A and B are shown apart, each in its own frame.
Chain A
């Protein structure tokens, strides 16, 4: 009993010491004094060996209980100090999160490129592939094959950029439209043909609404049955899809282009509300494209038999439809590379137009 009494006293003393420990070092000192090699509990443990077996069993069990209690108290006290230390560190580590992040330039996609992808998405769904041709063209592809012989008045109205004459008298031109791609496609593919040909075009014209370089997209369908009803359908479907409206009113006006017969110009309805142009509402008309059934002479120039094959073609300005869709006021600014303009009218790098996710 005496032993037990002294153990109880020791326990109370040690627990009181733990409880009174001022810091983590104090806890460690108590641990050493109690449980270290020469600690009071360790010494009593060592003394067990000298005891009789019965006595040793009882005393050993009591000592182990004491050891566990003290160990637990030490550990609990230690965590209290660790918690407190962590709290103190967290307080000291406070930063001002309203400070700006590391600067990173946000890139943009040019509206012409964005609209290129939008147009390709729409026509790609109907199986139109993207055809291309050189910007530096010859008379044959840019004019002759498109039913514009040298003396054709329309050829004079094209404001063509010419290159210097070659020794053989010929001279190359900068393509005045994307239509030469029609000829190149017919000469290299067998019908049925469905292509669009987006790209740069050039006219020697520069004023408020014209730039010497601009972007067009051409479409060509050649097969044995496609007619004007199909042409009207696709133009209307395209406008609805591109301008992302449920309905548009379109006005088809008979017109004249050397490379189509019959030809029509197409207007789309719009309104202007608060300075903003809205496509698909209102009763004003805006011309957006020229179109028609491919002229038999053009089909022939493409190496195909116009008695067997027919189809349609149309062309419109990529810049122009970009301006209409996104409310961009000035064509000339498209090509000025003013950072303020690029950032304002550009598109986010991962804003990729898709039919599934939407075009804008």
Chain B
């Protein structure tokens, strides 16, 4: 919403400065986006009189002018073709900063002649693109008059952002009302007196009940003269960026912005028969004033004559019956349209107009007829002619409602003590009819007020939110108690653990391209956006990995080939709340240890990501030793180089391994690349019931270790052998560690394990060790067919 200071002052009797007005607007909730005041910027530019304009002795296209300024007569070299003796121009003297170039003017010499100033074009002052000549100042301005005054630029423009609940602030009169309530002046009364019609309108109006139109007020004017509107009206519209069109149209625009009341004028001679508001017929089309043809549906309301639709109700008029310079008979429409219906039609047709903007937020229905009367006076004044009696169809919608403001409520909800009489005064200034005990009747222009809380808001915003004292909140506990739940703590533990292991945490999109979703088990219809903004972001991610892998690809393309990226976030298995799981995922690509003088370069492999998983699980409080590690993982992993960590086949906690080469190829990311993903929701709750640790129980006797080199079939997994060996004696065998592996011929593998034996009560004798070693060998043979290597 744009307006100018002087326009506002037509409705607000005030001595407030521009700054005070802006502060006031911001305070009452009308955010000032922009103030355009050129007074400061153009202070150095003044009206000057050209006494002489002779040809420059050394240049054909230049003129040597004698110019009278408020500081004396100076010589100016000027190249403008319109520079001539007797004109008034805008002069800039040395030191003035030219707005177009931001450069300070200096005295100069042009082709041997001194130039002591510059006469400006509109472009140099940023008034327009006009640069063919200098400004030819019109009017009887004495030399030395500030340029802003002579050019009508001394009226600051204010642009405010109006929230959707305040249609009353989409007219200058409504703004003045708020500012008056705020104490920044007095609201000037409106002249709402009806104009008596002197004939019956030859055009009648009707309203279909199913249409969006509740009330239609019309009036016929005959013998008007249309054409360019007077300078004051053109200046008003131009000051807020509107293009003057013709007097009749300019009057409707003027009333739209002054009172928030859109109107429409038909060229009555182009109207066939009578006018009605009715639902459009499906397929009916209309050429609107914006030059576009719209096809309508039977949900939309049109203003039609007996022949065809002539306008889209509350949104835009039609081209066919629009006014032109030759219009002599006019039909004025002032109607009230339902906000929701108008909004729906406007959205479907994609039309943005000042009328729609206001009707869909809710114009004041009670102002419908008043608007027509104000327009009537302006039309008669500016276009002449005669006005008919009003023709009215439909009825004023009943918006009457009242709410009771309890005397304690501003204090209890707003937290501020305001004298009751002041509370009543504020509401009355805003147009509420309020009884002494707080029963407030809501004015017709405030569709947003729907309860007591709204009354509290009105009082607080006018009183000033800055006047509400800060009040400390209570502390539920003198010393704060923990607030995080176990999953939240695990989220933090996972994140910090991964960062400690060297991962750079990323936050990637929750969505991804459909193709990537499908590679990772996603692509469900219920997880597709119906209005994705790009083909790269169409599906919700089924896993954290695809976006991390894509990110790896982008980093590799930038020359960063060794990377560790992790993310802790959600993935989606469906559209129900329980389908969202919190996960910790990570990828490693390239060197785990890069080339270095100490030697030992190696690439990241499956056991790095397996360690990542185990570390995170441990940080989350799980007893890692009791978890099962089985080979195989979902299809996006390498079938032979991947594993699953589970608590049983029904509870898979995490996957790790190399990403399948086909997946990487499809994503155009160079591998190999290892990854893991932990589903944090699935981790079991901690079983610890108390903070106290179990008693520490250890033996004072030295542990000893024995190595066994077994030969097993290739298909035997190391974990099976380890499990078997551990099972030999759960008390004495403290640890079993595979420390060597190599493939033998004939489908066999050599696995070397170190067994740590921990004596409990007495040191082992040779016989004890022999016995347990024999048992280990026998058990390994029985369990996995392991033979001791000879």
Contact = CB atoms under 8 A, between A and B. Distances in A.
Interface of A: 99-110, 112-113, 117, 120, 123-130, 133-136, 151, 153-154, 156-157, 161-166, 171-172, 174, 192, 194, 200, 202, 204-206, 212-213, 215, 221, 225-234, 236, 251-256, 261-265, 293, 295-296, 310, 334-340, 342-343, 346, 348-350, 352
Contact of B508 (A174, A337, A340): A337
Contacts of A340: 558, 560
Interface string B477-488: 100111111001
Contact of B537 (A205, A212, A339): A212
A334 to B, nearest CB: 6
A99 to B, nearest CB: 5
Contacts of B492: 117
A99 B29 contact: no
Contacts of A349: 496, 499-500
Contact of A129 (B469, B483, B548, B564): B483
Interface string B586-612: 000000011011101000000000000
Interface residues of B, number: 104
B697 interface: no
B100 to A, nearest CB: 26
A120 B488 CA distance: 11
Interface string B9-40: 00000000000000000111101000000000
Contacts of A117: 492
A127 B164 contact: no
A117 B483 CA distance: 12
Given A100-B596, A229-B468, A337-B551, 4 more contacts: A107-B503, A230-B471, A253-B465, A263-B457
Contacts of A120: 483-484
Given A163-B530, A293-B453, A338-B558, A212 B509 contact: yes
A262 B462 CA distance: 12
Contact of B593 (A103, A128, A230, A256): A103
Contacts of B580: 134-136
B46 interface: no
B531 A161 contact: yes
A107 B500 contact: yes
B526 interface: yes
Contacts of B501: 107
20 contacts: A99-B598, A103-B596, A107-B501, A107-B505, A113-B568, A120-B483, A154-B164, A162-B529, A163-B575, A194-B476, A200-B569, A204-B531, A213-B510, A227-B413, A232-B470, A254-B457, A261-B454, A342-B505, A342-B565, A343-B504
Interface in B488-535: 488, 492, 495-496, 498-511, 525-534
| Shortest beta-carbon contacts, A-B, top 3 | A229-B415, A254-B29, A105-B502
Contacts of B547: 337
A233 B575 contact: no
A229 B470 CA distance: 5
B179 to A, nearest CB: 13
A126 B480 contact: yes
Contact of B472 (A233, A256, A265): A233
B504 A256 contact: no
Contacts of B415: 227-232
Contact of A162 (B412, B531, B540, B569): B531
Contacts of A261: 451, 453-454, 456-457
B461 A102 contact: no
Contact of B530 (A171, A227, A342, A343): A171
B496 A124 contact: no
B360 interface: yes
A331 B269 CA distance: 58
A342 B506 contact: yes
Contact of B480 (A125, A225, A236): A125
